[in-house]
Structure 1
Amino acid sequence: MTSKGRRSFGVIGGFGPLGSADVASKLALASSGGGEREPVEIAYDPRPFGGAALLAPDGECMTERKLYLIDAILDFARRGIDTVILPCFFSHTFIDELQANSPLVIVDMIDAVRSHVLRTLGRAASGRAASGRARRIGVLATAATREARLFERYFASPGFEVLHPRRDDGDRVTEAVYGEHGIRSGQLFGLPIALLDEACADLVAQGAEVIVPGATEIALIANRLAPLAAPILDTNSIYARHALHWEGGPSRRPFKVGVVGGVGPAATVDFMQKIVASTPAARDQDHIKLIVEQNPQIPDRTGYLVGDGPDPTLSLYATCKKLEAGHADIIAIPCNTAHAYVDRIQPRLSVPIVNMLTETVAYLRERFPRLREVGVLATTGTVASGVYRRALAAQGLYEVVPGAELQARVMNAIYGEKGVKAGFTSGQCVADIRAAAAELAERGVQAIILGCTELPLLLPEPEFESLDGARAALVDPTAILAKRCVARALEGAAHP
């Protein structure tokens, strides 16, 4: 693990040991050059990735490349690394896909090169030369990178033109890097230099104003190439310096909602369904990213509050920490009683818990501005903890709960042998909870909070009417929590 406050870089070395090691070395040299505000740690992963995928990365080979990369990144994350260095030009052809699934930020090598080229040519990205002719960028890229048009994407402005060596008599660059006597085989003199000299001369003949190596191995011998009218950049040094001084912050990732699940299991499924139903989406990809830690082994929240069960605080906290480690942006706990423990665990988390109780009370105050009394159907533990009583009082509202006999029936509807936690959603459990709701409605309560996340499974309607005609709105905290989480996710996506 890295030390607190220390910048850390993980260098993936398997696509080209020589070129990657050169980038790592230049990163170390640049970080030791003085003036660094923070110490730097560098981890190097040399595990090789070879075979046909290096030369022809398509189909299954491409998939293997992506899986290799995400495994390396996840390993860096487990080791406490915060930034990934990917010294492989071709892998940057799918950096957006990779970054979207990476827990760590990946420094974009081509963006680093592009920024340097713009400074070298002394012009803005969208400008043109005084003559009106596009500035010409010569690129020494191997076949796969060239065919993926990587540099064309980064220099898409009409002010630039990307040139590649003509291949009338063979692919000099690919042979210089991957050939039997190429750089990857350890040949840093002779044939690779002759091939690249020819490729560079061709680029200059086409009007290239600067030559950009598009393979990390080429930087190893760039200073041995024949002098030309156009400068040859050391892209490995450029990447290393860019990474070291880069202050762009983490790349944008999809907003992620963490869910403490299993409290109870059916309520978790109900919450997830309500997240989906509340999300404006035209396709699968428009929905919100969730990470769910379904942990039914969390001790019963009510049992502890009424004095006859183990304390669930540690299990709730550990579950939240797993969601935090999974890079959740917010945490939802679809369990009313569990919110009696939120004040204990929130100060130790770096991720905010969306409080279902306060969100529910805020909803009530907005929807029923003249309301004074609110019914609460909840476990005896939730009632005894006073969490709803305090949340309601903070908004000038008064909690009304069933009498002792009907509160016992509420507990039977939830925990009884044929209660909702046992999987029943009809029969005696429904009769019990309707009897408790009827008492509250007949006492003049106009709104009833279904303060146990399983209760909306028994009373799914928006309004309750007793046999005597008394009516009360039924307020579903699960639905309110789902809507609030969706709103937070949409806000986060719009303003990362």
Structure 2
Amino acid sequence: MINEKIAVIGGLGTLSGADVLFKLLKNPKVLKNQKEYEFIFEQQPYSQINSPLYHEDDIKSRKFYSYNLCKSFESKSVSKILLPCFASHTFFEELQKEISIPIVNIFDALSLYLKSSFEKNVKIGILTSDYVKENHILKRYFQGYDLFFPTDQEHMMEAVYGENGIKKGYFDGIPLEYVYTACSELMDKGCEVIVPCVSELSLVTEQLWKRGVPILDVNQIYVDYALGNFTKDVLKPFKLGIVGGVGPSATVDFMNKIIINTAAKRDQDHIKMIIEQNPQIPDRTAHLIRKETDPTIAMFSICKKLEAAGVDAIAIPCNTAHAFVKSIQEHLTVPIINMLTVTVEYINRNFGSNTKVGLLATSGTVQSNVYLDVLSEFGFEVIIPDEEHQKYVMESIYGERGVKANFTAGICKDNILKAVDFIIRKGADVIILGCTELPLMFPDESEIVNEDKIIPLVDPTLVLAKKIVNLSKV
């Protein structure tokens, strides 16, 4: 039985990536339990392979390259990813935020090894690239140690990245001598250990050990850490998936309500949202009333796309669409937050179970009983328009000058107010605006005053938006 599925990103340092894979395969823990491990090594053509490491284009290219491979590994359901490239760990946090699989941090591995092997204030020699040397990352991970660098950094870089350097497969001769000279200088300065923050230097550690150099095999430390000490849960920001286009304006209105109800001081405090705005989803009401094209597959297809995109929950800002939610949910692993259920729970919590609830919705929503069933579960008495006033509701939504045609005042508002007046006269204590376009006609109204009686208007999209905001905090 496979317990670990580990991926290695190759290509950033071709030979060092292969070295990491080899050390994984020959690790005693793996050799003893080979059936428990699966390894994936992927190396793609890397366009900036010959660019100077400090070049801005090279670092950007590494970001794109690493991200693409990590996303590929996500689809293969690996348990952890190894990134054997010190320069690429300078953007580790940027990368990890976008990847659901934990990436093993090579600096964490080295930091832990140093803490367990050396006292603080020990002099440590560092061999690394100009780019990593000038980055803040070394001081951050090696706090408490005195860090020393070779004087001749140019020869150090030539040894690794030169035309006849270690990166090109030259492990002895001038490249090795340059590295040995740098190590000797650091040892003369009193460095007790030399930490190479260039993964290719693991390819020459044995030759240096034979010369008495106390240099670490960083690739081996990285592999041992990944197989042993490394445990990490990736804390990813809450991500909402939205089935949009049902209808388009209601989708935008719903998103805006989420934004308005999020306590944010900066852009980064807001909720991640992925929206598939697909107005071509067949009309829900037309199917429910006249048996026209079934929208189930179109909605399900969007939900699966959102699921694949790694959302934590799905919202559908369309009341009528909830007639299809139960059948769709059975085939998803991500929950659809049911707008109708949270709306009825809100009414029960704020107005009590003895409240008479008026429902304004499309004929499809009414005839499907999706709202009526939920309201009945809570014991609510429900008041709906009669046939005459239901026509006013439908005209206010679907008419030539209805809200779906982007009208929010005039005849559409007059028509819906006729239906409102009817259900208030029938005794409604609270009214559900049970079509997501209806609240667009009441942008600044949360209640209706009728003959000295104040009737609250419940906006399901607002209730759902607030529910989503609360879920994002959990």
Sort the TM-score into its range (normalised by shorter chain): over 0.9
Q: Map 1:126-165 to 2 at 5 A.
A: 129=119, 134-156=121-143, 158=144, 160-165=145-150
Aligned match for 2:252, one of 261, 269, 277: 269
Deviation of 1:76 (Å) = 3.5
Deviation of 1:321 (Å) = 1.0
Query: Which residue matches 1:101?
Result: 98
Query: Which residue matches 1:235?
Result: 218
What SS does the corresponding residue of 2:243 show, helix, strand or coil? strand
Query: Which residue matches 1:16?
Result: 13
Cα distance in 2 for partners of 1:53, 1:307 equals 64
Structure 2 vs 1, CA of residues 82 and 433 (structure 1 numbering), >3 Å: closer, same or farther? farther
Structure 2 vs 1, CA of residues 53 and 276 (structure 1 numbering), >3 Å: closer, same or farther? farther
CA contact (8 A) 2:59 2:88 kept: no
Query: Which residue matches 1:328?
Result: 311
Cα distance in 1 for partners of 2:229, 2:242 equals 33
Give the residue type in structure 2 aligned to 1:318.
S
Structure 2 vs 1, CA of residues 175 and 415 (structure 1 numbering), >3 Å: closer, same or farther? same
Query: Which residue matches 1:71?
Result: 68
Deviation of 1:449 (Å) = 0.6
Q: Map 1:333-352 to 2 at 5 A.
A: 333-352=316-335
Q: What whole-Å deviation, never above 9, does each CA across 1:229-258 have from its counterpart, x for those lacking one?
A: 663222112222333446624422221111
CA contact (8 A) 2:7 2:82 kept: yes
Query: Which residue matches 2:31?
Result: 33
Structure 2 vs 1, CA of residues 246 and 435 (structure 1 numbering), >3 Å: closer, same or farther? farther
What SS does the corresponding residue of 1:55 show, helix, strand or coil? coil
Structure 2 vs 1, CA of residues 57 and 254 (structure 1 numbering), >3 Å: closer, same or farther? farther
Structure 2 vs 1, CA of residues 199 and 457 (structure 1 numbering), >3 Å: closer, same or farther? same
Structure 2 gap segments, 5+ residues each: none
What SS does the corresponding residue of 1:71 show, helix, strand or coil? helix
Cα distance in 1 for partners of 2:198, 2:190 equals 21
Q: What whole-Å deviation, never above 9, does each CA across 1:330-353 have from its counterpart, x for those lacking one?
A: 111111111122221223222111
TM-score by length of 2: 0.93
Cα distance in 2 for partners of 1:330, 1:483 equals 14
What SS does the corresponding residue of 1:426 show, helix, strand or coil? coil
Deviation of 1:145 (Å) = 0.9
CA contact (8 A) 1:6 1:41 kept: no
Q: What RMSD over aligned residues (CA atoms) do the two structures have, in Å?
A: 2.3
Query: Which residue matches 1:430?
Result: 413
Percent of residue pairs identical: 43
CA contact (8 A) 2:16 2:84 kept: yes
Give the residue type in structure 2 aligned to 1:436.
A
CA contact (8 A) 1:53 1:65 kept: no
Deviation of 1:164 (Å) = 2.3
Query: Which residue matches 1:173?
Result: 156
Give the residue type in structure 1 aligned to 2:271.
I
CA contact (8 A) 2:104 2:230 kept: no
CA contact (8 A) 2:396 2:411 kept: yes
CA contact (8 A) 2:209 2:215 kept: no
Cα distance in 1 for partners of 2:270, 2:58 equals 30
Aligned match for 2:85, one of 83, 88, 96: 88
Give the residue type in structure 1 aligned to 2:121.
A
Structure 2 vs 1, CA of residues 68 and 203 (structure 1 numbering), >3 Å: closer, same or farther? same
Give the residue type in structure 1 aligned to 2:60.
T
Deviation of 1:370 (Å) = 5.9
What SS does the corresponding residue of 1:44 show, helix, strand or coil? strand
Give the residue type in structure 1 aligned to 2:69.
A
Deviation of 1:153 (Å) = 1.1
Aligned match for 2:446, one of 462, 466, 475: 462
Q: What whole-Å deviation, never above 9, does each CA across 1:69-113 have from its counterpart, x for those lacking one?
A: 223333333455553321110110111111122344322111122
CA contact (8 A) 1:139 1:211 kept: yes
What SS does the corresponding residue of 2:7 show, helix, strand or coil? strand
Structure 2 vs 1, CA of residues 176 and 106 (structure 1 numbering), >3 Å: closer, same or farther? same
